[in-house]
Amino acid sequence: MTACRNCGAALRGPYCALCGQRHDPHVHSLGHFIGEALETLTHADSRLWRTLGTLLTRPGQLTQEFFAGRRVRQLPPFRLYLIVSVVFFLFASMLPADAPLQLARESDGAGESSSADPDGTPQQACEAIDIEGVGAAGAWLQPRLEAACARANADQGRSLESRIWSSLPRAMFVLMPLMAGLTMLLYWRPRRRYVEHLLLFVHNHTAVFIAIGVQLGATAVLPAAARSPASAAVAAYLTWYVYASMRRYYGQGRLRTLAKFALLLTTYSVLAILLFAATAAYAFLSA
């Protein structure tokens, strides 16, 4: 009887009953591996496309189906979140340096900024403030601020922006559990498990990453006149999406859901700003 090459268990078919590895002792050609890769991408677990379609068009339904036990038709929530978040932050880090900030510039009327003064002298990305006089903490922090500013000025802040984008995924892993805990307090009757609220946030954040990724891409390629309408459309979609996901999953009335949505949005915005500031400070001071 043939034995599994992975775990040594006896085989009674093409797959090992103990570890699940397929029995495939042949040394395959390069064409075989390329064909296998293409099949994986195109037939990819057709669940990927079904999951994304439901995720983006029917807010809250994936979470409902998961806890109803209908899970085989969708990708596991945390796997989907990790895939989308990795692609999102990688894509954002590859965009032109000013693309993620373009929308903010347009919204406050600043428009395109120049990396040089009128006389052609490159602008400084930052200048370290003098805080040595505020005590021992200032004396400890001053040289670190100066060194960080020197690093930022060396490449006009590009490496700093890259470090911020690479640190944001970790900040999201702090923000989502906090928001799930607050949501649990708001929806305490009927009693629900903490993981239900967390999973809804996981699905919602996955959709948010996809929508903002589209927005960032559009900001990079669209004419300036089309950027603001595209951004407004994405903002309207995300507002509707989160509200609709809460309505669908928790099943409460419109006014009650709207009030809780407003409270969660306000709290989320404050926490997100604080976490982003902490992330930026960490990225700025780290080598």
Give residue-wise pLDDT tens across range 220-236.
888 887 888 888 999 99
| pLDDT at residue 102, rounded to an integer | 52
- Provide the pLDDT for residue 107: 45
Max mean pLDDT among 61-75, 98-112, 170-184, 258-272 falls in 258-272
248 vs 93, higher pLDDT: 248
How confident is the model at residue 140, as a pLDDT?
A: 61
Tell me how crowded residue 31 is: count the other CB atoms within 10 A of its CB. Answer: 8
Weakest mean pLDDT among 166-170, 173-177, 269-273, 283-287: 283-287
Ranking 73-77, 110-114, 265-269 by mean pLDDT, the lowest is: 110-114
Query: Taking all residues of the chain, what is their mean pLDDT, rounded to a whole number?
Result: 80
Q: Please say if the pLDDT value at position 190 is more than 80.
A: yes
In sign, the C-alpha dihedral spanning 95, 237, 208, 152 is positive
**Cα separation, 221 vs 95, whole angstroms:** 10
Q: Which residues contact 47 (CB under 8 A, 6 or more apart)?
A: 73, 74, 75
Please report which confidence band the pLDDT of residue 113 belongs to, taking 50, 70 and 90 as the band edges: very low
Looking at per-residue confidence, does 217 or 165 come out higher? Answer: 217
pLDDT at 48: 81
- 21-41 average pLDDT score: 69
What per-residue confidence (pLDDT) applies to 210? 94
Residue 2 confidence (pLDDT): 84
| Residue-range domain boundaries for the chain | 1-43, 47-107+157-285
pLDDT tens digits for 131-149?
A: 555 555 556 666 767 777 7
- How confident is the model at residue 131, as a pLDDT? 54
Place 42 in a pLDDT band, splitting at 50, 70 and 90.
low
Mean pLDDT over residues 115-122, rounded? 49
Highest-confidence range of 28-37, 130-139, 238-247, 270-279, by mean pLDDT?
238-247
